[in-house]
A and B are shown apart, each in its own frame.
Chain A
Amino acid sequence: MNDVLYLAWRYLRFNRGKAAVLVGSIGLILFLPAALQVVVRQGTQALTARADATPLLLGAPGSATDLTLAALYFRPPTLEPTRYAEVEHLAASGLAQAIPLHLRYESSGQRIVGTTTDYFAFRSMEVASGRRFAMLGECVLGASAAEALGVGVGETILSSPAGAFDVAGSFPLEMPVVGVLAPAGTPDDEAVLVDLKTAWVISGLAHGHDDVTAPGAEGQVLERQEDNVVANASLLSYTRITPDNLDSFHFHGDPAGFPVDAIVVVPRDRKSGVVLRGRYAEPGGEVQMVVPRAVIDEVVATLFSIRNAILAVSLGLGLATIATATLVFALSIRLRRRELETMRRIGAPRQRVRAILATEILMVVATAVVLASGLTLLVSRFGVSALRLLGS
Chain B
Amino acid sequence: MAKIIVVTSGKGGVGKTTTSAAISSGLALRGHKTVVIDFDIGLRNLDIIMNCERRVVYDFVNVIHGEATLRQALIRDKRTENLFILPASQTRDKDVLTEEGVEKVLNDLAADGFEYIICDSPAGIEHGAFMALYFADMAIVVANPEVSSVRDSDRILGILQSKSRRAERGERVEECLLLTRYNPERVARGEMLGVDDVEEILATKLLGVIPESESVLKASNQGIPVIYDEESKAGQAYKDAVARLLGEEVEHRFLVVEHKGLFQRLFGRGV
Instruction: Note whether A and B form a binding pair.
Output: no
Please report A residues at the B interface, Cβ cutoff 8 Å. Answer: none
Chain B residues near A (Cβ < 8 Å): none
